[in-house]
Amino acid sequence: MSGQAQSLLDLYRTMLTIRRFEERANALYMEGKIPSTLHLYIGQEAVATGVCAVLKRTDYVLSTHRPHGHAIAKGVAPRDIMAELYAKVTGCCKGKGGSMHAGDIRVGMPPAVAIVGGNAPIAAGMALACKFQKNGGVAVSFFGDGAANEGAVHEALNMAAIWSLPVVYVCENNLYGASTSFSTVFNIANVADRAPAYGIPGVIVDGNDVEAVREVAIEACARARAGAGPTLIEAKTYRLCGHSRSDPLTYRSKEEEAVWRARDPLVIAAQRLKERGEASDADLARVEAEVKAVIDEAVAFAETSPDPLATDALKHLFVGESA
C-alpha cells in the first residue's frame, strides 16, 4: 500500500482491510479452518498503516508474532496471507510459515520473526546493506513494548545509532506483553525515553491516529534516508482483542478496555473523514463493500487452494535445491 500522498480515505481503506481480515481470520479459526493460533492486530491498525504509507515497495519491514497488519499495510496480498493461515501451498510462505511468519520478500517483507525482539538487529543489518548499497532504502522494525526489554533490541538500537543506519524502530506500545502490563516491567513512563541514551531521537505518537503516525514516520524516514540515522518511534496503542486465541483477557480491566474501545482508530479516522467532508456515509459504505470483496476473495482463494504435499517439507532447506 506504499506510495505517494495517500488520502485519509486511502489510509482508512487499508486499516479497514486489516480489521476485516483479522475479524474474518478469527471467525475462520473458530470454525476450525485455521490450524494454528493467531495473534490479531485489531486496535493497532493505524500504526502499520501510517508507517507503511510512507515506505516504498523496496523498503524493508520487519515484523513480529502479530504480523498480519504489517503485511497487509506493506502490500502483501490478503489472499496470500489468508492462504498461509490455511496452511495452503499458495500461501505467502507456501504453508511453511503460518500466521506468525507471514511475509513476502517481493514487497520488502521477509517472514515475520516470532522470536520477540529478534527482528531488531536484522532490521539494522538490512539498513546496513541499504547504506552499503547507497540505494536510499529504509528498514522498519516493528516491535512491541514487551520486546523493548530484549537485549537484542538494545544492541540493535545502539549499533543503528553509532553507524547512523537508515532504520526506523517503531515500538507499538499496547500496554501489555502477553499478560504482563507495561508498568510492571518498566521503571519509566515511555519506551521512547530510552532514545536519548542511544543518542537518537525518540518520538511519542498517538498510535490510534493514523495521520499522526504517518507524520512522524515521514520525518523518521526522511532522516534515515538523509543519512542522519535511526529514530525510535513509540506509538501508544492498545490491542482490542486477546493476545492469542487462547487468551481469556482476565489480566486487564473492562474499564480500561472501554476507554480504548472509544478510541478505536477506525472510528477516529471515519469521524475525521466526515468532519472534513472528505467522505460521506455512502463513501464509507462503498469502501466497506470493496474491502469485503477483497476479504471474500481471499477466503475463497484460501479455501480452494491445494494443500502442500507432505514431502514439500523437504523443500526449501537451502537455496536452489527445489522450486
Partner 1 sequence: MPMMSIAEALRLAIREEMERDPRVFCIGEDIGVTGGFGGAFTVTLGLSEQFGHERVLDTPISEIGLAGAAVGAAMAGMRPIADVQYGDFLFCMMDQLANQAAKMTYMSGGTVSVPMVMRAPVGSTRRGSQHAQSLEAFMCHVPGLKVVAPATAYDAKGLLKAAVRDDNPVIVFEHKLLYGSKGARSEKGALSPVGEVPSEDYIVPIGKGIVRREGSDVTIVGKLLTMYQALAAAETLAQEGISAEVIDPRTLVPLDKELILASVRKTGRLVVAEEDNRTCGWAAEIAAMVAEEAFYYLDAPIARVSSIDTPPPFAPVMEAFYLPSADKIVDAVHKLMGKN
The region of 162-170, 225-233, 269-277, 307-315 touching partner 1 under the rule CB under 8 A is 307-315
Residues 86-115 touching ligand TPP, rule: CB under 6 A, are 114-115
Three-state SS at 234: strand
- Contacted by 97, from partner 1, Mg ion, ligand TPP, none: CB < 5 to 8 Å by type: partner 1
Longest pairwise C-alpha distance within the chain: 56
Residues 111-150 touching Mg ion, rule: CB under 5 A, are 144-146
Dihedral sign for Cα 319, 38, 208, 69, please. Answer: positive
Site string for partner 1, 226-265 (x = CB under 8 A): --------------------xxx-xxx-------------
How far apart are alpha carbons 322 and 319 in whole angstroms?
A: 8
User: Measured from the CB of residue 89, what is the shortest distance to partner 1 in angstroms?
Assistant: 8
For the chain, what is the radius of gyration of the CA atoms?
19
| Side chain identity, residue 164 | S
Residue 167, all three cell numbers: 532504520
Residue 319, all three cell numbers: 537455496
Residue 285, all three cell numbers: 459504505
How far apart are alpha carbons 292 and 24 in whole angstroms?
A: 10
The verdict on 185 binding ligand TPP (CB under 6 A) reads no
Half-sphere exposure of 311 (CA within 13 A, CB side): 1
CB closer to Mg ion, 67 vs 177: 177
The verdict on 260 binding ligand TPP (CB under 6 A) reads no
Site string for partner 1, 176-195 (x = CB under 8 A): -xxxxx--xxx---------
Are the C-beta atoms of 177 and 145 separated by less than 8 Å?
yes
Are the C-beta atoms of 137 and 130 separated by less than 8 Å?
yes
Site string for partner 1, 136-165 (x = CB under 8 A): ----------xx-xxxx-------------
| Binding residues for ligand TPP (CB under 6 A) | 65-66, 114-116, 143-147, 174, 176-178, 243
| Binding residues for Mg ion (CB under 5 A) | 144-146, 174, 177
| Binding residues for partner 1 (CB under 8 A) | 35-37, 87-89, 93, 95-101, 113-118, 146-147, 149-152, 177-181, 184-186, 246-248, 250-252, 307-314, 317
